[in-house]
Structure 1
């Protein structure tokens, strides 16, 4: 339990800092000029919303949902919304990259900012609709036949829409991209191939173990299990879920910080923060130093006048 809390704390810190930097960059330094920019911004928002709710989820699990059923539903529902929106947005990024590289002639007509904003609106709406059963039925799984059906439908939908569909889209698109890039003898293109492979491998490594456990757990949901098997399955689910949580920390690195332009904006953020800190701290230090000099001068002047008066007497 302690190790889990430690890992979740690291995920929270890295995910909060990384995704906040992505949002700040797009808000103040880099305008959303392409569909990928719009998707990256929305992915960062989805990941940030998740990592903000992560400490509350851990707290509730430690204290047996002491915050009450309403908070439980909201937290689990928000996790579901962020899961669906984040995964589908990653699929949109792979589709956009496919159109830009493989279908370059059509990219000017298809890759427009109004289209990307419309697609993001549809994805967020779709994510809320898919998450509605989690909001509504979370504490009624044992008391209602409809809720029992939902208990099977929720993880099944999560597997289908939240993992296998994005994985299929990413596999098809990035395979076509790799074939296209390998046909061009260019160092930058081959470097891009490595980035594409890293994106797919990290996605699979983070989410595949948890979804395998989720699939197995759904398949044996209504079967009787021994205590040892149930405990082992619970431990496996917790460990693989923690690995899946890591993906929200890696998204800023994979989809944003690997770009040279984005790293330059990232560097500018720290430079501006440093300059802002110097502007804020330097006047205060200056005023404090001058006040100390003034007090010490007053003391020295007062002391010299006392000494002088005593000498004259």
Structure 2
């Protein structure tokens, strides 16, 4: 079977099996380059604006403010290295093994931090709107953020272990194409576990919030319903293709199915860019549009 190339990437920057021509490589990578460029141009200013302006934060609880700030910082860290990855997609990796491992590691730390922060925000919204609970003092909030980053640091360790700089026909790539299949299966399954749990928690929490809003005869705000729907749909649509491809990758490895594995390689190049779209959209979904959800909390308290 062809040498495996995992999804543990910001995106795959190695050549696909079969060694396509340089012209073909450029055309294959053009769409991810355009998507990533747009994410950088929109997402970086958007997250900086959230950190500096703190829009509508006067309506948020202290815990929500801490999580919103952590989300913006995580997304900003995720998006800032995009010009380097874009250059690498178009040309070649030139920074050596240490930079390859560290940049990928920090990228995964920021992605996991963003994913877990969104999950915690959904739980916090559920508890505040449905159960009217405003828990955690200042020390508790700090411990929660520290715990969140500790989990992300642990979850991102595989990037340090299996990431390598590989010489290929069309240049040097920062990839994990030479990792043993057993490691790839473990990594893909761990990613899927975290992802599916997070998606389930977010969906359950916001559906619970929506039901409580609909039950409140004194409060009926279509904007809040649209916001909740957009959060769930965006989170599901942008994350699920990545995790579904991971599941197919695990199946391809276990079955030693070359055709399915080739399909996964091509799919990862497409769906992994959606991860950065999420970091680009988060400021608009959470920071700039959360005022309506806070109004629900205030109405529920009276």
Q: Report TM bin, short chain.
A: 0.7 to 0.9
Deviation at 1:30, TM superposition (A): 6.2
* Greater mean alpha carbon deviation, residues 135-144 or residues 123-132: 135-144
Assess if the C-alpha contact under 8 Å between 2:59 and 2:291 holds in 1.
no
Provide Cα deviations, 1:255-291, integer angstroms capped at 9, x if missing partner.
0111459xxxxxxxxxxxxxxxxxxxxxxxxxxxxxx
Flag the structure with larger Rg. 1
Offset, 1:229? 5.1
1:45-84 superposed matches below 5 A: 45-84=73-112
2:278 aligned residue (247, 265, 269): 247
- Of 36, 42, 53 in structure 1, the residue corresponding to residue 70 of structure 2 is 42
Number of aligned residue pairs: 253
Matches within 5 A, 1:142-291: 148-161=181-194, 163-226=195-258, 230-259=261-290
Change (3 A) 1:119 1:189: farther
Partner-residue secondary structure (3-state), 1:220: helix
Could you tell me the TM-score, scaled by structure 1's length? 0.73
How far has the Cα of 1:152 moved from its partner?
Answer: 1.8
Instruction: State the Cα deviation string for residues 163-185 of structure 1 (Å, max 9, x = none).
Output: 11111211221122111111012
Q: In structure 2, how many angstroms separate the alpha carbons of the residues matched to 1:165 and 1:179?
A: 21
* Cα distance change, pair 4–143 in 1 and its aligned pair in 2 (3 A): closer
Displacement of 1:111: 4.3
Displacement, 1:7?
A: 1.6
Please state if 1:119 is matched with 2:147.
no
Check whether the contact 2:63–2:141 (CA below 8 A) recurs between aligned residues.
yes
Aligned equivalents of 1:252, 1:155: Cα separation in 2: 28
Instruction: Tell me the distance in 2 between the aligned counterparts of 1:121 and 1:216.
Output: 34
State the 1:54 CA deviation.
Answer: 2.0
Supply the distance in 2 between the matched residues of 1:62 and 1:30 (Cα, whole angstroms): 44
Indicate how the Cα distance of structure 1 residues 50 and 219 shifts in structure 2: closer, same or farther if over 3 A, else same. Answer: same
What is the TM-score normalised by the length of structure 2?
0.75
Structure with the larger helix share: 1
Q: Report if the CA contact (8 A) 1:73-1:134 is conserved.
A: yes
Q: Which residue of 2 aligns with 1:276?
A: none
* SS of equivalent to 1:159: helix
Distance 1:230 1:169, change over 3 A: closer
CA 1:153–1:221: 2 relative to 1, 3 Å = same
- What's the offset of the Cα at 1:234? 2.2
| Gap regions ≥5 residues in structure 1 | 262-313
Note the residue ranges of structure 2 that are not aligned, 5 or more in a row: 1-28, 166-175, 293-302
**SS, match of residue 221 in structure 1:** helix
Higher relative contact order (CA 8 A, sep 6+): 2
Matched-pair contact (CA < 8 Å) for 1:182–1:190:
no
